[in-house]
Amino acid sequence: MKFGIKSVLASLTLAVGGAALPAHAAGVPVTVDITSLRAIQKFTLDEKADDQAYVLVTGIYGDKPIDARFPEAGKTWEAAPKKPAITAKQPVTVWKGALDEGEFALVTVSLFQGSGKDEVLTKKYAEQIATAEKSTPGFDKKKLGPADVKPLAQGVVKSEQAVITKIKDTFSRQKNTDHFGGLFNVLVWNEGGKIKKRVDPVGLTFGEHFGNDEKIYSKIKFTRNNVFTQDEKGVWGTEIMEPLSDDEKALRVKMLENELIKKPGANPAPKTTDYLADVQVTAEGKALKWKLPPEGPEGQFVGVDNIHTYWNYAN
């Protein structure tokens, strides 16, 4: 498996048949973009150093697997609380294609911090995720009906959780590897000529929802008042980031790990790695708005306050 945008573009060309086909056969053009990637709290223990971050993109589009790395192999983004890895001025398109009636794409985005030079481990991880997703009932469908979307989205998350709950067997500080930062799925499909979308984070995969004990999660939720942003004059300040942007065109996925750092001769010290990704889907060049599902066991966990409330998906 080779990560790179060329492999994705090649699979897209095969899937839509190339530019020589009549326009009506190309379907509705769709893109999945990350318009912001913020390091709320860095992974590195060096206070003076920036994180190095990258994403692996897997999934399926038609009968072709999606297989990409951003930025390309050998490169990473620099990230720090006052240095977003991705900004709205230079968004990153992690997938693009065209969807005819009933067609869909499942785009899985995995965030990592580290140099990304150990391709053996990233290949192993991508293969594990791909194998898990393929085992999901309905994953091999070429088209989706209205009744197929929810079972597929929930089934894929359940399959992925089986991999992520054991992620420390592959990636850990003790093994001096890159760090798994989080995972979420973007499902886009054409229903009656209209592009529909859904994001499902992989959820809590280690620890408990409440408290500051060790845990790993990817969720749609409010942040604490610790996200650095700049005002019109360029002055930095912290604020609480809501799950949706003000214009509702960006959905935010929060990816966090609390861990204990063990040092010789000292008590274990807590360390938090915390990132926030803004996701945007466009159809025919127009950004689609997001909405959060209503309260309930399937759509939302009702917590004691905003900080402890999260949504299992958004659409």
DSSP letter string, 131-167: HHHHTSTTTT-SS--TTTHHHHHHHHHHHHHHHHTTG
Which residues are paired to 58 by β-bridges? 67, 108
For residue 81, pLDDT over 80 is answered with yes
- Lookup: tokens for 198: 């859904």
pLDDT of amino acid 223: 97
pLDDT of amino acid 204: 97
Return the number of other C-beta atoms located less than 10 Å from residue 224's C-beta: 15
Q: Considering the chain, what percentage of its residues have pLDDT values greater than 70?
A: 92
Return the number of other C-beta atoms located less than 10 Å from residue 289's C-beta: 14
Question: Three-state DSSP class for 274?
Answer: strand
Contact of 52 with 307, CB cutoff 8 Å = no
Instruction: Give, in order, the Cα–Cα distances in Å from 296 to each of 139, 155, 219.
Output: 26, 19, 16
For residue 14, pLDDT over 60 is answered with no
Which residues have C-beta within 8 Å of that of residue 283, sequence separation ≥ 6?
Answer: 28, 29, 30, 195
Instruction: Give, in order, the Cα–Cα distances in Å from 6 to each of 47, 75, 128.
Output: 36, 15, 22
| pLDDT tens sequence across 144-188 | 999 999 999 999 999 999 999 999 999 999 899 999 999 999 999
Question: Three-state DSSP class for 68?
Answer: strand
pLDDT of amino acid 296: 74
Instruction: Tell me the average pLDDT across 111-129.
Output: 94
Instruction: Give, in order, the Cα–Cα distances in Å from 143 to each of 30, 55, 190, 191, 315.
Output: 16, 27, 9, 10, 19
- Lookup: tokens for 214: 């060790």
Between 245 and 4, residue with greater pLDDT: 245
pLDDT of amino acid 103: 97
For residue 24, pLDDT over 50 is answered with no
Average pLDDT score over the chain: 90
Which residues are paired to 180 by β-bridges? 112
Return the number of other C-beta atoms located less than 10 Å from residue 47's C-beta: 6
Between 303 and 149, residue with greater pLDDT: 149
* pTM, two decimal places: 0.90
- Lookup: tokens for 311: 């949504």
Question: Cα separation of 229 and 226, whole Å?
Answer: 9
Q: Considering the chain, what percentage of its residues have pLDDT values greater than 90?
A: 81
pLDDT of amino acid 10: 41
Instruction: Tell me the average pLDDT across 205-233.
Output: 94
Instruction: Tell me the average pLDDT across 200-210.
Output: 95
| pLDDT tens sequence across 237-271 | 999 999 999 999 999 999 999 999 988 888 889 99
pLDDT of amino acid 230: 93
Instruction: Tell me the average pLDDT across 24-46.
Output: 92
pLDDT of amino acid 5: 39
pLDDT of amino acid 114: 96
- Lookup: tokens for 126: 């991508």
For residue 18, pLDDT over 60 is answered with no
Q: How confident is the model at residue 21 (pLDDT cuts 50, 70, 90)?
A: very low
Q: How confident is the model at residue 4 (pLDDT cuts 50, 70, 90)?
A: very low
Q: Return the domain boundaries, the chain.
A: 5-311
Question: Three-state DSSP class for 96?
Answer: strand
